Structures are given as structure tokens and as C-alpha cells.
Amino acid sequence: MTTVRPDFAIEQNWQAYSEEEHAIWRLLFERQQRLLVGRACREYLDGLRGLGVAADGIPDFRGLSDILDRSTGWQIVAVPGLVPDDVFFAHLARRRFPSTCFIRRRDQLDYIQEPDVFHDICGHVPLLMNPVFADYLQAYGEGGLKALGLGHLQRLARLYWYTVEFGLIATEEGLRIYGSGILSSAGESVYCLDDPRPRRLRFDLRRIMRTRYRIDDFQQLYFVIHDFEELFEATRPDFAPIYREVAALPDLEPTARLDQDREFALGSPNGGSRKKNWAAHQRGPSLGRKRLEDVRQDHNR
């Protein structure tokens, strides 16, 4: 029987994975690698290579943690699934990334409701090899603990959603993906860059904190950063006065349009230019790190 420690850490029990589970990893990994060339940001692809995450099968977290620890001081902690917010933030603040161990079934290749090991390891962990992103995620964890105390968790969760899960980055070659919810989704990794329907706005901390998000479909709105330093700098100030300022303004739907919005048009400089080939992959929404409340809402629908 699995022992769950007070911080929800468990043993990954790598040797217990079946051939079928490794085969599902291979399918998912190979499909994403084909799609992500020219779509994922360079830092992500470098991280994946540096970690040695590959098609062979579900990685052993111990090996990944050794490499991560030497590179940026992060480790992976196996957890049984979604963990309470305070536990999640406390891990991040200590440079420990909580990862689920189970992998989706073969009939769930395109969508499952909760994060699985493919989403967590292939989507999230490679960017932790980047020193600036690694610092950002730790700062986010520290900010999460403060937000819990201040009662503004929802606003901080939106920042996670629109950056860590669904963020885009502008490069000289065009827009690229760094959000793990997109990187682990075949459909959304094409849709987010190629489809004319979603809007792609310049990163704006306050606007993000006001903007709701959808968990049951592709995003209608993405926010674009210039570089990871921008992200880290955005989390540097004390958020308490920003929360108060944002709380005085109405929340926004993802479809809302504001005069201040700075939009990246497809085909514009740093906006990318691609043919519309996403339809073949339009099979299901992508997977973010849903918070426990989100999952409960889903169940109540």
C-alpha cells in the first residue's frame, strides 16, 4: 500500500509501471515531438534534451531530480494527484515540483481531466532546467502562500494559468509555446499558434489577474511574454497592493476586449505566420493544472 506523507509525497514506484503504460508514454511523446518542432520555445526543447526525457518510457523521477538538482536546485516530488493549494505552494517555494505518477489510458490520449505524469513531466519539468523560469516558479510558490493568507488565491491562480500552463513567448522566429498545458496537448499546441480565433495579448499582470479562464475547452485568450526575465520581474513586487487594486475592478471574461489590449496578430512581426493546419488535431481541450475547486465544479456540471 502507498504511504502518503504529510506533504503528500509518495514513492513513484517506477518499477511497477507496465509495458502498456510505457507504450502510452511513447505514443504521447513521439506525437508531441513531431508537433513541437518550430512551436515550442527553445528553452523548453533545451530542457527536454538536458534532462534526457525521451520516448523510451516513463522516466524515473530519481534520475530527473539528480540532473535538475545539479542544474537549478529543483527536485521532483511524486504525489498521488492534485494536492491542496497550500501543500502545492509550499513544495514550489522549496524548489520541489509535485508530479503525479499515473499515466492516462489509451482511450484518453487527447484529454483527461486531471494532470498525469506526461503532463507534469513532459509539460512542466523541462523549463525547470532554465534558471530564470526556475526562479519564477519558486517565487510563484512563495506568492501562493501569501495569497492564501490574503484571500486572493483566485487572482494568483489566473497568473499560473495564463503563464505556467498556457503561456506564449515572442521570439525572432515568431510566437512559441512555453505553457505546459499546451505543450502536453496535441490539439492545443497547433491551435494556439495557428488558429485565427483565439486572441494573443501582450502580457499584462493586472489584466491577467482580472481574467477568468476556461478549463473545459481550448483557450480563447493567450498572453505573450517577451522573455522569462519579464515573468520573473512581474512577480518581484509585493502583490498585496496589486490585489487590492484589481479587486476594485470587475472580473473579465476571456472574450472581453479592453482599449489597453495590445494584440499579436497572426503573421505580424513576432506573431508567427503559419498555415491553418490545426483542424486535424482538434479533438479535445488541453490539460492544465486544475485546482481542486475546478475539478469539483466539473463534477457538479
Give the binding range for Fe ion (CB under 5 A) out of 44-52, 67-75, 180-188, 230-238: 180-188
SS3 state at 223:
strand
Q: In the structure, how many helices (H) and strands (E) does the chain have?
A: 13, 6
Considering the complex, state which of residue 104 and residue 174 has its C-beta at the smaller distance from Fe ion: 104
**Residue 21 C-beta: closest distance to Fe ion, Å:** 20
Q: Pick from 91, 96, 289, 291: which binds Fe ion (CB under 5 A)?
A: 289
d(CA 107, CA 109): 6
- Nearest distance from C-beta of residue 120 to Fe ion, angstroms: 6
- Cell matching residue 214: 476556461
Least CB distance to Fe ion at residue 286 (A): 10
* Closest CB 181 distance from Fe ion, rounded Å: 6
Burial 60-84 (b: 16+ CB within 10 A, else e): ebeebbebbeebbebbbbbbeebbe
List binders of Fe ion among 6-25 (CB under 5 A).
none
Q: Which is nearer to Fe ion, 161 or 232 (CB)?
A: 161
Cβ nearer to Fe ion, comparing 119 with 152:
119
φ/ψ bin of 222: left (φ > 0), alpha (ψ from -120 to 50), beta (otherwise): beta
Q: In this structure, how many other beta carbons lie within 10 angstroms of the beta carbon of residue 251?
A: 14
Closer Cβ to Fe ion, 179 or 198, answer by number: 179
CB of 261 to Fe ion, least distance (A): 26
Q: Which grid cell sits at 222?
A: 493567450
Residue (of 221, 237, 224, 216) closest to 286 by Cα position: 216
Question: Shortest approach of Fe ion to residue 132 CB, angstroms?
Answer: 19
Question: How far apart are CB 248 and Fe ion at their closest, in Å?
Answer: 30
Rounded to the nearest angstrom, the gap between the alpha carbon of residue 67 and the centroid of all alpha carbons in its chain is: 21
- Supply φ then ψ for residue 158, to 5 degrees: -65, -35
104 versus 289: smaller Cβ distance to Fe ion: 289
Cβ-based nearer residue to Fe ion, 180 or 235: 180
Q: Cβ closer to Fe ion: 152 or 289?
A: 289
| Helix or strand run (H / E) with residue 165 | none
Q: Which is nearer to Fe ion, 200 or 289 (CB)?
A: 289
Task: Choose one: 11-19, 57-65, 153-161, 173-181; the region binding Fe ion (CB under 5 A).
Answer: 173-181
Region binding Fe ion by CB under 5 A among candidate stretches 9-17, 177-185, 203-211, 253-261 = 177-185
Stretch that binds Fe ion, among 59-67, 71-79, 175-183, 234-242 (CB under 5 A): 175-183
Segment lying near Fe ion (by CB under 5 A), choices 24-32, 35-43, 142-150, 289-297: 289-297
Q: What are the E-state strand segments in 133-267?
A: 168-171, 174-177, 199-202, 221-225
- Which residues, other chains included, contact 125 with Cβ-Cβ below 8 Å and sequence gap of 6+? 47, 51, 53, 64, 68, 76, 97, 99
> C-beta of 44: minimal distance to Fe ion in Å?
14
* Count of residues interacting with Fe ion (CB under 5 A): 2
236: how many CB neighbours lie within 10 A of its CB?
10
> Which residues make up the interface to Fe ion (CB under 5 A)?
180, 289
